[in-house]
Every structure is written in structure tokens, then in C-alpha cells.
Amino acid sequence: MNTIQWPLRTRLPLQRGFLLGCRNVRMSSMTGQRNLLVRNRLQYHSFINLPMMPLQLIQFFHLSSRANLNSLRLLNSRRFISVFPKIIGKVIKMPVYLGGGLAAAGSYIAFKVEETTGYAVDQWKHVKNFSDSMKDKLQGLFSGGEHNGQTGGGNSGGNSNGLNNAALLAGLTDEEKDELEQQRRKKQNFDEDKDDEDDEENDMVDNTQDEMLNLTKQMIEIRTILSKVDSTSSTLTLPSIVVIGSQSSGKSSVLESIVGRDFLPKGSNMVTRRPIELTLVNTPNINETTADFPTQRMYNLKDFKEVKRILLELNMAVPSSEAVSEEPIQLTIKSSRVPDLSLVDLPGYIQIEAADQPFELKTKIRQLCEKYLATPNIILAISAADVDLANSAALRAAKQADPQGLRTIGVITKLDLVSPEEARNILMNRRYPLKMGYVGVITKSPNKSRVGLFGDGSSGTSGGLFGKREIAKIKENSGNQMGIEQIESSNFERLYFREHRSEFSNCQVTTKRLREKLIKILEISMSNALEPTEAIIQQELDDTSYLFKVEFNDRQLTPKSYLLNNVDVLKAAIKEFQEKFNRAELKSILKADLDQKVLDFLANRYWKDENLEALSFKIKNEDEMLYWHRKLELASSSLTKLGIGRLSTQLVTNSILKELENILDTTSLKNHDLIKDLVNNTAVNVLNTKYYSTADQVENCIKPFKYEIDLEDRDWNLAKDHSILLLREELAQCQQRYETIQNSVGKKNLKRVMLYLEENNAGRETLGMSKMMLERGSEALFLGKRSKTLKFRLNMLKNRCYSTTDKDRCPEVFLNAVSEKLTSTAVLFLNVELLSDFFYNFPIELDKRLSLLSEEQVELFAKEDPKISRHIELQKRKELLELALEKIDSILMFKKSYKGSINKV
């Protein structure tokens, strides 16, 4: 029995012997006894492959044999029927048990052999590479090394290289061997830390895994949507990482190291006066880093010096008397080198106010920070290593907002300014424990450690912080990626922690580790806040939907549709105006202006003439006849050479613009200065395109009337009737004005003043008459004389002006006939050249200009109307809440299905 169970009891020693054999294989390359160890390995291998029969199987054989004997003895027994099937079943299953056991043992042995072989091959490659790298350094010691290296190049076998390396190592002194052994150990330490090797290749590349379809990016999108709904709400939001720290604690440097760019303003006069809501978006498909300021509508900024300038201007816009403001600055940075994070940079804590700062500045900063430190935000408390944590303003504020330290991450900067032992004591999270612990970073490399920026370029780090690979990296990234300062700081941090690996073995250090920690914590905190936020969003959506139903009956309205509707109303009104503004309307406008010009000529040249009464009698004196004839020619010439082309074109243009303004006042556009200016400017531009050509055309057509005017009897009679109407209207206006003055001054007072002025008593006293009284009296005298003259001329026109032969005695009729000729001629070209072109091109040009408006301009236009602004805001709020709720639901459903699939697996 003991002999049969012996393989089972010795299984573990055999496996240990097998591993010992593998260890001998690994050491074969250093001792030169490869062949013997290979034979030992084969011996152990063959020894292990001896058939090992399990105890249960042996017991089964033993029981089976006994069962067979009993079955022979009980052939005539009644129990034969029940025993025989069991025996047959066990016999049938015996090959299955045997085959399964052998297969399992073989698979396990094959797996261990493969693992051992792979490990041995990897170690052999490391030794081979190490020996190859030592050849160049040992050429000075071995004169035949170069010759052996050249002749050995033709041998491809590994044994010759191994022997050659062994020969090289054998020729070294003990000190050289110790030095090589130290370098080999460092090499092994570097191989064990794969993350550091990845950092050398690309320190700032985000290596975040796409777990659960990158939920962090989706949740940051939801947070952005919620901030558009209500940026001031403390409940309608998802967690962010709030960065706090005192001034000069390295807060800005930590943020810049996470982003990889120098973009935050720095200075001694408190340059951070407003919260900076920083959103980092990982965009794998772009090679450039861009920045957006959504509130300022500035997008795709690639120059981060410009970003820093804008941030400085926005911060310094806060007056020194206030020092800080609660209005945040929204900044979005997109790059393939940043993780998906949502950060808030707050003004740094101060201990005492400066002379030019308000007395309550310290309190205002504390109150502003408390607003952002509230649940559920994650607190990133930054403290410098050279300052006692007991005096850390960031930890003190975090302790007040988060007494149990459940959502606070401690970040210790400037670790290189203290000893590694002291830094380790800080990072061990013992004195001031936090649930999420501490992370140590070095965000700036000290200038004193820089012998030269690039050193001699011949080695990795000697003589400077950069070697060949770092220089190549700087050249590659000098355009749009990290700057030299960021790369230098990153390299210094990595080299520092690598040099003090043993001191920081159990600590969380490096900026890369901080970024990974922030990504994970933000994802977890946002994920935990999804369900409570979903309930709040659902309640907000119900309230908003109810208000939208009550106030606007669920009527959809967008700024674009509102603009187009108003423009359609405007176009319809202009179409109606076009139908009314025909040739007759155009003629009446121009004739009314020329009638006023005619009255002015008559008043200046005739009605003031003292010999005007002579026209009531028949003129027989040739000199007197010549006098009135020349006076009429001068008046007619003044009218025809007035510049009818420019005058008529200007009149029509002004009339169109005035009517267009009246139309705008009847529509909803009257409250929108932006669109009113756009419509007016469009109309002016369309009219200006034809203004000068139309004026020239009209002026050319009326040239014949400047030399001779032929009038028919019909023209004379029409002009006579129109002249009588003009004079009557003028007489009525004079009498109305006279009565107005008489009512305001008094009939007796007015007569007294007029009598005083008629007597021309300049040297006498005014008898208490004021200057205004004298002015009213003078105007009343003029109106009286003008009324008398108009009555005289009306009588003359009715009784003496019968035909064109009386034109010298009836200048009113002749000049009116001339103005009628000028008006009829000008209207023809004004209608064709100006009006038709305007009503055709104006709608087309208006559509072109409206299409050039940006979405922001259209939205600003719509929100100029308070009612429309309320409609659009409520509808936009409803749509954003629905979108946020839809995204949250999709994430929650995916998480449930994801957990369900994991549980099934």
C-alpha cells in the first residue's frame, strides 16, 4: 500500500526539483555549464512524466477486483441482478477516469515547461543585450575584441555569442564586475517598472482605458448640458474637481502639468480673481491642442500665450476694490494629450490683505471657495512640502467642508525641497489622514540642477536634464504640443522619483499617477451621483413642461423661425407698399416739393416787389413790359436749373426709406434694433446702386426745358386751377397763424404792438413790451401784408389770367405749368430706373444678408423681445433637460447591462 501511494506524496518535492532545474537553466548562460544543466532539466522532466496513478484510481482497481470475486461467489444469489450493472458501469468509466487524469497532468506539465522556457529565453536575451552593449566599452581593454567581434559576426549560433560574452566577463577585474553588477540591477529595476518606460516615450499621453464606453467623457457632456440649463444651481449638476490652495503653493503648476501647457496667468498681485471652470476633453483624432471660451464666443485658439492673455484680462477686469468675483470663466481645452476631466481653479487663500486690497478680501475668498467645496464636488487640496501641513490653508478649508475626509485628495508639491524621508512621512497619510490619501508631485525643475539645458547630448542625463531621446521629443513637440519647460519638469520629476525609488516605494507619486487617480475618482463620483441627479432632473423637467404648456401651449419656436416669420411679414408689407407706391403717388411727392419751390420764388421775386400792383393793369410801357418779362425768365430758369434729377431722386429715396421705417414700426421688428438696422442698411445699399445713374437720366431728360417751354391752353388751364388752390392754401395758413398769435397775445395787445411797429418808433420806450411781444407783433404785421398780397393775386388769377399771352402778368400760373412739365418727365425715369429695381432686388439682398447672421446674432435678435426671450429660454431649458435625462438613462441602462453581463460570466 505504501509503495502504491508513493508518487502522490512526493509530487510537491518533484515540482520543487523541477523549478530548481529551471533555475539552473537560467544560470547556465553565466556559468558556461549549459549542456550539463540541459541534461539535468531533461532528467527532471522525464522524472516528472512518470505515470502517477491517483489514489482514487488505485482504490477503484482494488475495489473492482474484490467486487469481481464476490460476484463469482454470488452467482446463484438473488442480489446478482442488482450488483452486476454497477460492476459494468464502473468498468466502463475506468478509461474515462484514467484518460482525464493523464490529460490534466500533461497539460499542467506542458504549461509549466512553456512558462519556464519563455522566462529563460527572456533572461537570455537580456544577458545577450547587456553583453553586446559592453563590447564597445571593453575594446580598450581587449585588443582582440574588435577582431573577434568581426569574425564572430558570421556565426549565427547562440552558443558562440554566449562563449564570447563569457570570455569578456572573465577578463574583468572584481571592481569592474561589481560596477557591471550594479548597472545590471538598475537595468532590472527599470524593466520591472514598465510605467516609467512608457513615460519616457510619451509622458503626457492619456493612457485612460475605454472602460464602459468611456463614461467620464459622457458624464462631462451631461455636466456641460446641466450648466447650460442653470449654471448657478447647486443641485442640478454633477461633481467637479475643485482645486484649492494658498498662494505660491503650486496650484497653477499642478493644473498646467495635468494639461501639459503653460496657460494660467501668474503674478504677485492676485491675478486669479474669478473661478476658472476648466473642462478637459480628450480628442484622439487631432494633433493640436485648442482652447475655447464658450461664454466669450471664442473658439479654436491654438496660441496659448493668447489664452493666458485672455484669462489675465478677464481676471483683471474685476476691480481692485472688489478683488474677487463669483462669475466663473469657462474654458475648454481639447487635445489628445489630456484626460477627460472637469476642474475648477479657485483664487488662492491669503493670510493677510495687502494695502490696495479690501479689508474683507480674506472672507470673500473663503465664502467663494465654500460655495464650490460643497457636496458632491471632489476637493483637490494642494499644499507645499516645505510648509507644515498643520498650517495648510487648503487642508483647513477641506476639513471644514469635508470633516471625514471622504472626498478630499491631498496633493503635496515641491517634494524635492525636503528630504525623501520627510516627504515619505507626509505621503504615508498618517498624521492628517484622508480617505483618498496623498499624491506627491514635482511640477517644476529647480534651476540649480540644470548644468546645461541639453548637456553635451551624448548621454541620457549627464550634463543636463535631457538626452537624445528627450531632445528629439522637444523638437517633435516644439510646435503645438508641450513646451520645453513642461518636458523638463516631467523628466526631472521622473528622474527624481526613480533615484529615490526605495523611499517612495509604498507612496503615490508623479503627476501621471495624480491624473490617473483624478480620472478614476471623478468617474466614480459622477457615476454615484447619476441616480440622485436623474431624480432632480426629472422633477425640473416636469415643472418646466408644465410652465411651457400653460404659457405657450407647447408651441415650438426657435430664433431662426421667429426671424423668418417676421421677415415674411415685412416682405408682405413691402409688397403692399409697392402696389400703392405707383406713378401717381410718386408724382404727387415730387409735385408737392416743386410747388413749395415755386411759392418761394414767387415770394422772393414778386410778392415783395412794390410795383406788383401794376400787373393788375394792362402794360403798355415797353420798359415796364421788359422788366416783368426778364423777371419771369429768371424765375423760370431758377426752377429748371434747380437740379431736378438729384432733387427728385433724393425725394423718392427718402420717401421709400421713411415708408420702410413706418412699415417696420407696424411689425414685431420694431423692438429689434439689430434687424431694423440691417433692413435699413440693405435698403440704402440697394437704392445707392441706382441713385447716381437715375439722377443723371432725369437731368438729361429735362434739358430741353432749360431753353424753351411750350405750353398749350390745356396746360395753362390746369396750371391756373392748381395755382389758385396753392394761393388759397397759402392764404389759409397765413390767416390761421395770425389767429394763433392773436389768441396767445390778445387782440388789443397785438393791435397795440402792431401800431407801435408801424409807426417805427425806434427811439421811444417800449412801454413794457417784451422782446417776445415785439417778435410776435412783427410776425403779425408780415402775415397781414402777405394775406393782403395773396388776396390781390387770387383776384388777379381769377379775372385776368386767361391764356399764355398773359404769362408775364401771371407768373404763378406759368411757373406752376413749368413745374408740372418737370414733374411728369422726371416721374417716367424714376419709376423705371429706381423703383422697379428697388422692389425687385431688395428682398433678394435682404435674404442674403440675413443668411450671413450667426446663430448667436439670431438668438440675440430673438431675445430682444422679452416675451419671445421667455419662450425660447423655457423651450431650450426643456430640451436640455430632456437631453440630459436621455443621456443619464442610457448610461444607467448600460451600467445595469454591464453589471448583469459580468455577473453572468
Q: What is the pLDDT of residues 645-690, one digit of tens each?
A: 899 999 999 999 999 999 998 888 887 888 888 999 999 999 999 8
Q: Which residue would you say has higher pLDDT here, 330 or 267?
A: 330
Q: Please, which pLDDT band fits residue 185 given cuts at 50, 70 and 90?
A: low
Can you read off the three cell numbers belonging to residue 5? 501511494
Can you read off the three cell numbers belonging to residue 453? 539645458
Q: Residue 376, preceding bond cis, omega within 30 degrees?
A: yes
* Average pLDDT of every residue of the chain: 75
Q: Three-state DSSP class for 853?
A: coil
Q: Please, which pLDDT band fits residue 62 given cuts at 50, 70 and 90?
A: very low
Interatomic CA distance for residues 408 and 418, integer angstroms: 23
| Residue bearing cell 543585450 | 129
The candidate with the shortest Cα–Cα distance to 378, out of 251, 246, 518, 493, is: 518
CB-based contact 450:465 (threshold 8 Å): yes
Examine the pLDDT at 883 and tell me if it is beyond 50: yes
Least confident of 108-112, 268-272, 655-659, 819-823: 108-112
State residue 324's pLDDT score. Answer: 85
State residue 184's pLDDT score. Answer: 56
Examine the pLDDT at 475 and tell me if it is beyond 90: no
Q: Which residue would you say has higher pLDDT here, 709 or 595?
A: 595
User: Rounded to the nearest 10 degrees, how much is the dihedral formed by the CA atoms of 857, 862, 863, 868?
Assistant: -170
Q: Please, which pLDDT band fits residue 843 given cuts at 50, 70 and 90?
A: very high
Can you read off the three cell numbers belonging to residue 59? 482504490
Examine the pLDDT at 162 and tell me if it is beyond 70: no
Q: In DSSP terms, which residues pair with 557 in a beta bridge?
A: none
Q: Please, which pLDDT band fits residue 122 given cuts at 50, 70 and 90?
A: low
CB-based contact 587:824 (threshold 8 Å): yes
State residue 758's pLDDT score. Answer: 80
Interatomic CA distance for residues 591 and 822, integer angstroms: 9
Q: What letter would DSSP give residue 347? A: P
Q: What letter would DSSP give residue 284? A: T
- 132-136 contact pairs (CB < 8 A, 24+): 132/165, 134/168, 134/180, 135/168
State residue 844's pLDDT score. Answer: 93
Helices and strands: H and E segment counts in the chain: 31, 9
Angle between helices 559-580 and 866-904 (to 10 degrees): 150
Is the CA virtual torsion 136, 139, 142, 146 positive or negative? positive
How many Å separate Cα 898 from the centre of its chain? 33
CB-based contact 842:659 (threshold 8 Å): no
Burial class (CB in 10 A: 0-12, 13-18, 19+), 15: middle
Q: In DSSP terms, which residues pair with 536 in a beta bridge?
A: none
Least confident of 92-106, 776-790, 792-806, 873-887: 92-106
CA distances from 368 to 361, 373, 399, 451, 891 (A): 10, 9, 16, 44, 32
**b/e map of 369-407 (b: 16 or more CB within 10 Å)?**
beebbeebbbbbbbbbbebebeebbbbebbbebbeebeb
State residue 173's pLDDT score. Answer: 54
DSSP 472-503: HHHHHHTTTS--HHHHHHHHHHHHHHHHTTTT
Work out the average pLDDT over 426-438: 89
State residue 126's pLDDT score. Answer: 56
Work out the average pLDDT over 192-219: 51
Work out the average pLDDT over 240-264: 85
Interatomic CA distance for residues 759 and 836, integer angstroms: 60
| Residue bearing cell 520645453 | 484
Phi and psi angles of residue 173, each rounded to the nearest 5 degrees, phi first: -80, 170
The span from the first CA to the last CA of the chain, in angstroms, equals: 44
Interatomic CA distance for residues 403 and 397, integer angstroms: 10
Q: What letter would DSSP give residue 620? A: -
Work out the average pLDDT over 863-879: 87
In this structure, the strands spanning 276-282 and 341-345 are antiparallel
Q: Please, which pLDDT band fits residue 30 given cuts at 50, 70 and 90?
A: very low
Burial class (CB in 10 A: 0-12, 13-18, 19+), 656: buried
